[in-house]
Amino acid sequence: THTHTQPSLAGTMTAQAAHSKLIAAVCAGPKALLVNKLFKDDAITSHPGIADKMKEFYSKYDEHKAVVVNKTKTLVTAQGPGPTLDFALTIVACLKGDDAAHKVAKPMRIPHGPFGSQL
């Protein structure tokens, strides 16, 4: 059984989306959004292995950005395990603001990316 087809996950995601609560998905996780037809008009990305299927439904699919946030900051998606640090910090930024994300990132000594600093 695939997680993206589980009724409990579909119900949770639908409720989160209906209440403008944050949903985050990485790698092939965005496929669950596709299966449940959520965030159709939003910017989104996913693992390149499912990009073609995602592009059929999502007109704002972005294959060039490793981490994508929609305009309302209720959806954060990432392409795979490589950008998960930026993915996590982007979630912090959506929930608590950019200053909070930079505060979390600073002691990590991240050399580049949206939350990187000069070392």
Q: Which two tokens stand for residue 71?
A: 């305009």
- Long-range contacts of 12-18, Cβ-Cβ distance < 8 Å, separation of 24 or more: 13/38, 14/38, 17/74
What are 78's strand-pairing partners? Answer: 26, 67
73 φ, ψ to 5°? Answer: 60, 35
Q: Which residues are catalytic?
A: 27, 47
